[in-house]
Amino acid sequence: MGAVAGPAGVVAYRCANTLDAMVGHRSLRYARFGTAAARLDDALTWLPARVTATLAAACAPLVGGDGRRALRTARRDGGRHPSPNAGPVEAAFAGALDVQLGGVNRYGDRVERRGPLGDGPAPDPASVERAARLSALVAAATAVLTVPLRGVGPVRMPTRRDDTAGVAR
């Protein structure tokens, strides 16, 4: 986000993301405001999530995974997750590592039953280690790909140049 939208874009994104985390969950008290915050966060994260799923597929062979299966699983299973953006990414990781994610999750008093992501067995310690390596590779690939975007962002105001730079005072 920062490479394209600059510091102001990062702050705006973090505000939307924090609002979603604070009031975006389903409750009667924050129903209207929380829904708006959640939708804004979903909209801002839609493209980065798809790029992340694609990078997970591209990096999968580096951890002994299958990139094609990662993409197939992301397309097929991503919608089974309650988050429109976390779903494709988690499904891509499940496909890349040939594991099955999903099932029952507990959030305080609330229990969510999520559909399965992937076709493989449940994760084991070795697959968790591979997932950590895959995550690090995706982060590194993201950094490498965003460097060329640094100058693409919003118009920057020129800074005042100190004409006395280098002159002894």
For 50-80, the pLDDT digits (tens) are: 999 999 999 999 999 999 999 999 999 999 9
Q: Maximum Cα–Cα distance for the chain, whole Å?
A: 71
**Residues 6 or more apart in contact with residue 102 via CB below 8 angstroms:** 80, 81, 114, 115, 116, 117, 118
Global pTM value? 0.78
Residue 27 banded pLDDT, cuts 50, 70, 90? low
Distance CA 40, CA 116 (A): 27
Return mean pLDDT, the chain. Answer: 85
Tell me the residue length of the chain: 169
Domain ranges of the chain: 2-143
Question: Mean pLDDT, to the nearest integer, of 138-147?
Answer: 91
What's the whole-number mean pLDDT along residues 3-15?
Answer: 77
pLDDT of amino acid 79: 93
pLDDT for the residue numbered 2: 63
Per-range mean pLDDT, top range of 1-5, 21-25, 48-52: 48-52
pLDDT of residue 117: 96
* 168 or 44, which is more confident: 44
Share of the chain above pLDDT 70, in %: 80
